[in-house]
Amino acid sequence: MSEPDLFVVCKNCGSEVSPYVTECPYCGQRVRKRAPRIEKEGPPEARQRRGPPSLPRLRRGEIPGIAPETRPWATIVLIALAALVTLALRTGEVSVLDFGLFGPAEGQWWRIVTTPFVHQDLGYLFVAMVAVGIFGTHLERRFGPLAAVAVFLLAGAAGAALAAVSGPLPALGANGAALGVLCAWLVDDRMATRRGREHGNDLIGVYVIAAVLTLLSLAAPEASIAAAAGGAAAGALSGLILSSFRR
């Protein structure tokens, strides 16, 4: 009778994990659809009749013991929406005045949700969406698509709302939303380290991206420093909440 593997390798972080878990304890990536059944003690004849542990039939492209890497569809949709709004602005059929936050949002509070998708400057769009793509993907694979979308929208709205009540304005673009997604991931990573689950991530690059997103308010007049601060705070709080659901 064949013996089960002593370990499997997580495709996401490369760590060796037990074959009796379905989720990598280091990065949260699924490594199996379900864990093999642990055989109970019994007579040798009974154990022989049971046969080796079995798993469902592998899907196309799936490696035995390792779950296929899933696409971060929610993050892709967020980036695509921001790109489509920018393209619409270039046509002249849509104006930033239709969706952006240029003054107090009294009576038009829906603008705090739409303004993170409005970018006049293509460089600003590129930097913000690269950050969203990196850290939104990490959040989505760790907590699911709803968490990634919720953090983006909450951080973007919180940043825009802070800018609306305190200034300066305008407050356009996703600097606050991107910082929120980054901070949510960073807080969860630091909380995991405190629990003794060091992921070995290089945080220098993370801090550089955070600094670039913050300094966008100097390079792009439409990017508000208040939106960046509000988004970062909301993202950090979201990271604390999400991390509390992890063991």
DSSP assignment string, 58-79: PPTTPBTTBPPPPP-HHHHHHH
- Rounded distance between C-alpha atoms, residue 108 and residue 180, angstroms: 23
- What pairs with residue 16 in β-bridges? 9
pLDDT tens digits for range 78-125: 999 999 999 998 888 888 888 888 877 677 889 999 999 999 889 999
Q: Are residues 31 and 53 in the same domain?
A: yes
Predicted confidence pLDDT, tens digits, the chain (247 residues)? 445 566 777 776 667 777 777 777 767 677 666 656 655 555 555 445 555 545 455 555 544 444 445 789 999 999 999 999 999 988 888 888 888 888 776 778 899 999 999 998 899 999 999 999 999 999 999 899 999 999 999 999 999 999 998 877 889 999 999 999 999 999 999 998 888 776 667 789 999 999 999 999 888 889 999 999 999 999 999 999 999 886 5
Q: Are residues 220 and 201 in the same domain?
A: yes
Q: Are residues 221 and 129 in the same domain?
A: yes
- Rounded distance between C-alpha atoms, residue 90 and residue 26, angstroms: 44
Please name the residue that has the structure tokens 């390798």.
Answer: 9
Q: Are residues 11 and 57 in the same domain?
A: yes
Q: Are residues 104 and 197 in the same domain?
A: yes
pLDDT tens digits for range 37-56: 655 555 555 445 555 545 45
Q: Are residues 63 and 101 in the same domain?
A: no
* Residue at which a domain ends, from 45, 69, 93: 69
Closest listed residue to residue 172, CA positions, set 121, 246, 242, 236: 121
With a threshold of 0.75, does the pTM exceed it? no
Q: Are residues 226 and 134 in the same domain?
A: yes
Q: Are residues 110 and 218 in the same domain?
A: yes
Q: Are residues 89 and 184 in the same domain?
A: yes
Cα angle for residues 245, 176, 227 (degrees, 5° grid): 125
Q: Are residues 235 and 124 in the same domain?
A: yes
Domain count, the chain: 2
CATH of the domain at 161: 1.20.1540.10
User: Does the bond joining 168 to the residue before it have cis omega, within 30 degrees of 0?
Assistant: yes
The domain containing residue 161 runs over which residues?
73-243
Q: Are residues 29 and 57 in the same domain?
A: yes
Q: Are residues 58 and 109 in the same domain?
A: no
